[in-house]
Structure 1
Amino acid sequence: MTHDETTDAAAQHSAAHPRRWRILGFLGVAQLMLILDVTVVAIALPDIETDLGLSRATLTWTVSAYTLTFGGLMLLGGRIADLIGAKRVVLAGLLLFTVASLVTGLAGSSAMLLGGRVAQGVGAALLSPAALSLVVTLFEGNERSRALGVWSALGGGGAALGVLVGGLLTAGPGWPWVFFVNVPVGLVILAALARMLPRQSAVVPNARLDVLGALLVTASSGAVIYLLVNAGDQGWVTSGNAWLLVLAVAGYAAFVVWQKTARSPLMDVSLLIRRPVATGTFLILMATALMIAVFFLGTFYFQHANGYGALHTGLLFLPVALATMFGAQLTGRVLGRWGARRLAVAGLLVAAIGMAVPALWTYPAAVVAGVAIAAAGTGVLFVVASATALGQVAPHESGIASGIVSTFHEFGASLGAAVVSSVAAASFAGATLTGFTDGFVVTAVAAGVAALVAGFLAPGRAARTA
């Protein structure tokens, strides 16, 4: 390293925020709450159904209303963070999510319950991309990889922890506490971040929000997510899904055309064809789809096929959460030396091997071991995806790039749940284990194919270092 390079590195280090690791901890816990609320509710659904007298359709929307709003508004949240500063958007999103959690816990009707879930999704769509943008801007170099490892460990392990937390709260104080628990945690984080986050001016000064672009991409994303959620219940080949697909494609095409002519576009669409961003979005999509797929297979296997209760099932998923965090943490430490391509392929192959175990031996111990191995592989993918997609974007693009990554995270969740619910439908409805076996086979094959794609798509170590 030359003298000038050493001086530059020292200057960068000295300019780093002194409380960046503490800020990361609070942002990570906030993100953990958002991810927990995707899965923590699933365990509480039977109790919610009994207390509020909900229909099956309303139960489905108790989960998917949050995912739909969260994923559909993510790009808008990322763009707003670029325009007015990530700190303001993080605090606004966290406050909205916390208040909405209180309202949802107090719900005495289906309308209040679903309204609260939609409001939670709006708050999450503001908070998540803005928080990830802050992580990217607060850290540099190898520190950024380690920070993204912590971020991904908390977010990736959140789905599995949601089962455990949901089981403990539902079996203890009752289902409303699935939502009430967010209130004190959210208020503490809000107070801490308001004090610690650095003041920020607009990253894109004198720019205006592209309202039409936001409407087009949000409506199109919402149509895709609705299609994926709906396919799990009504099948893939329906006239309704066909029209939703046409609507989504037309909306995205109109969005691309508008972005090339708008004076203050929502995003630079060329971001999506940059190799690092394309790689990151593909990996985050696969990681989330695989994680949610095996989560659904595992929880339904334990509860339907073995008759385990919510708390018992939640405890069995503790190794899954720990494995996800281990994979993410390890990757954050070695990413700079190994490079994105090797780790992406390795993570997908580990996930494929893990999911092949319960496909061959459908026993409780084999399912726990296999899902935990697969979770370690997906933990690797979460870090590689975030670091690759966000490591080479300009500061004024960090918010929207974070929004892209977070949007594909939600797409992956909806895709994994929809595919596996269709493949394993027979086992969900009856006593046969064939559907569970088929579901694990499909996920193992998907992970293997994705490893081949990642081998060609992901940049090597030299590209990432550059």
Structure 2
Amino acid sequence: MQKPTGTITPRPWAALVALAGAQFTVMLATSIVNVALPQIRAGVGLSDSGTTWVVNAYGLAFGALLLAGGRAADLLGGRRVLLAGLGLFGAASLTAGLANTPEVLIAARAVQGLGAAAVAPAALALLTGLFPPGPERGRALGVWGAVSGAGGAAGVLLGGALTQAWGWPWIFHAVAGGSLLVLGAVAVTVTPPSDGEPTALSGDEQPKRGRFDLPGTASVTLALTALVWGLTDARRFGWADAQVLGTLAIAVVLLVVFALIERRHPHPLLPPRLFADARVGTGNALMALLGSVWIALFFFLPLYQQHVLGSSPLATGLGQLPLAGAIMLGSASAPRVARRIGPSATVTAALLTEAGGLLWLARIGADGSYAVDVLGPSLLIGLGLSIAFVQLTALSVEGVPRTDAGLAGGLVNTTRQMGGAIGLAALATVAGSVTAHAENGGRPHLEALTAGYRTAFAVSAAVLTVTAVLALILARRASRRPMPLPLTPTS
């Protein structure tokens, strides 16, 4: 039986390519619709609120069900859950492309999110099982980070190109085709065990002890759904709206119910052993703060390019290429940097680098240009974002028992998604308030819009600066554990 130690043979790296492809497809679907929303609205006959839910339905289902997807991967086997998730994801993507009514399209996007919630944690759990802690896992997570960040940027590019060339349905057809290819690659490269025992390339281990925590899963899923719903409405109606406050209050009550259930359930969804290593809590806390800025970046930057600079959907997508290239470069270099200066210093430096890029973006002007206002900051942001993401992902899954690997993957994805939902809602509210104040003061519309975007980028830079300080403190505390931090030369 092959053990995942020593020299990694080509077969595990082939499996890594397939697993990375699964993550890329999930991230692609997150952003590919953004630049095509006007065409989708006209093609299907969406209202203003319906257009918003083309994006929100996917993010809502994805974020709310990640913990359930991760636990299912632990109990049923990562390979089974990944293949099922990819199949559901691809079928929903095809349905979305064929939709001719708002109801079918929004429902298909929600099912897409359900499939993605199974794919993301299962793929990450399989990756950590394939590669032992140390340099090999560091390099594997570098690939993982590259495709995660590049998938978001590539979605903007492909969305613009496909919409302009063949129409909006092709953005969903492309995702469906990619899902089918990835499903085939996973089926071939991630093989089930032949003797009932886990192997280095196995996605299915012996049945896990315990049972699915249905009450806990239901309560936390409903809580996260209410939280994302409330935050989404806050962007539209404001934080003082009665419906927003009521929905957020429901989320808080359900989270309290979830905590009470977990204390008494014999097999809780979030078992205390998952947090026995301080690195798990530290990594997830920092990932939530990073996510609060990450998702907002891919929201505000294309808006500035299209609404202020006047870029077409295709030009906006092409403008994301330098950002995607910087993300790939940073992800590939993250393990090497960590071995040279240490994991704590690497996370701190990466966060400060991204903060510097966002502070640079905070100087954009209404009469600016892509080359002067966007290109340079994009390179800094891409490098910092990718290195921080790789390190924090490693920190969040390091030292977790293999039987909880899917849950750990679901948790780190959940904290990033929930952090992103909270951050985007807050930053959109701030940017909208600044824009409204500027317009009420008589400033031209484009200048008012730019003022709002500048404020969002400046606040994002401040959040990342605080996160960098916390990373330096918390990561050093976590490093006082018996096991070394991830991505160190020895393991």
**Normalising to structure 1: TM-score of the pair?**
0.93
Q: Does 1:37 align with 2:54?
A: no
2:198 corresponds in structure 1 to none
Q: Distance in 1 between matches of 2:251 and 2:341?
A: 38
- Check whether the contact 1:281–1:385 (CA below 8 A) recurs between aligned residues: yes
- Check whether the contact 1:224–1:244 (CA below 8 A) recurs between aligned residues: yes
Q: Does 1:435 align with 2:452?
A: yes
Q: Distance in 2 between matches of 1:416 and 1:319?
A: 24
- Displacement of 1:163 after TM fit? 0.9
Q: Does 1:414 align with 2:421?
A: yes
C-alpha distance 267-15 of structure 1, shift in aligned 2 (>3 A): farther
1:446 corresponds in structure 2 to 463
2:55 corresponds in structure 1 to 63
2:195 corresponds in structure 1 to none
1:312 corresponds in structure 2 to 315
- Displacement of 1:264 after TM fit? 2.3
One of 391, 398, 407 as aligned partner of 1:384 = 391
Q: Does 1:372 align with 2:379?
A: yes
Q: Distance in 1 between matches of 2:264 and 2:207?
A: 18
- Check whether the contact 1:164–1:314 (CA below 8 A) recurs between aligned residues: yes
Residue type of the partner of 2:84?
A: A
- Displacement of 1:195 after TM fit? 2.2
Q: Does 1:173 align with 2:166?
A: yes
Q: Distance in 2 between matches of 1:235 and 1:17?
A: 54
- Check whether the contact 1:93–1:123 (CA below 8 A) recurs between aligned residues: yes
2:175 corresponds in structure 1 to 182
C-alpha distance 288-46 of structure 1, shift in aligned 2 (>3 A): same
* CA deviation map 1:276-324 (0-9, x unaligned): 1122112322332222222222111111112211011111111111111
One of 219, 237, 251 as aligned partner of 2:222 = 219
- Displacement of 1:241 after TM fit? 2.6
Matches within 5 A, 1:22-421: 22-140=14-132, 141-199=134-192, 200-202=203-205, 205-269=208-272, 271-272=274-275, 274-362=277-365, 363-364=368-369, 365-421=372-428
Residue type of the partner of 1:161?
A: A
* CA deviation map 1:333-365 (0-9, x unaligned): 333443331111111100111011121343332
- Displacement of 1:17 after TM fit? 6.6
Question: Does 411-420 or 178-187 show the bigger shift?
Answer: 411-420
Count of residues paired in the alignment: 457
- Check whether the contact 1:347–1:381 (CA below 8 A) recurs between aligned residues: yes
- SS of match in other structure, 1:360: coil
* CA deviation map 1:104-151 (0-9, x unaligned): 000000010011001101100011100000011100121111101100
- Check whether the contact 1:203–1:396 (CA below 8 A) recurs between aligned residues: no
Question: Does 297-306 or 11-20 show the bigger shift?
Answer: 11-20
Question: Does 356-365 or 60-69 show the bigger shift?
Answer: 356-365
Q: Distance in 2 between matches of 1:415 and 1:457?
A: 22
- Check whether the contact 1:338–1:461 (CA below 8 A) recurs between aligned residues: no
1:3 corresponds in structure 2 to none
Q: Distance in 2 between matches of 1:12 and 1:315?
A: 40
C-alpha RMSD over aligned residues: 2.1
- Displacement of 1:263 after TM fit? 2.4
Q: Distance in 2 between matches of 1:256 and 1:16?
A: 41
C-alpha distance 38-267 of structure 1, shift in aligned 2 (>3 A): same
Question: Does 214-223 or 331-340 show the bigger shift?
Answer: 331-340
C-alpha distance 251-272 of structure 1, shift in aligned 2 (>3 A): farther
Question: Does 296-305 or 194-203 show the bigger shift?
Answer: 194-203
Q: Distance in 1 between matches of 2:7 and 2:69?
A: 27
Would you tell me which structure has more helix in proportion to its own residues?
1
* CA deviation map 1:15-67 (0-9, x unaligned): 96751111111111111111111111011100011111210100101001100
- Displacement of 1:401 after TM fit? 0.6
- Check whether the contact 2:293–2:424 (CA below 8 A) recurs between aligned residues: no
State the identity as a percent: 36
- Displacement of 1:273 after TM fit? 7.1
Q: Distance in 1 between matches of 2:304 and 2:123?
A: 35
- SS of match in other structure, 1:266: coil
Q: Distance in 1 between matches of 2:6 and 2:273?
A: 34
Question: Does 87-96 or 315-324 show the bigger shift?
Answer: 315-324
* Structure 2 spans left out of the alignment, 5+ residues: 193-202, 440-444
Q: Does 1:21 align with 2:28?
A: no
Q: Distance in 1 between matches of 2:256 and 2:423?
A: 25
Q: Distance in 2 between matches of 1:221 and 1:273?
A: 24
Q: Distance in 2 between matches of 1:15 and 1:336?
A: 19
* CA deviation map 1:405-434 (0-9, x unaligned): 011121133233222321222549932221
Residue type of the partner of 1:73?
A: L
Residue type of the partner of 1:222?
A: T
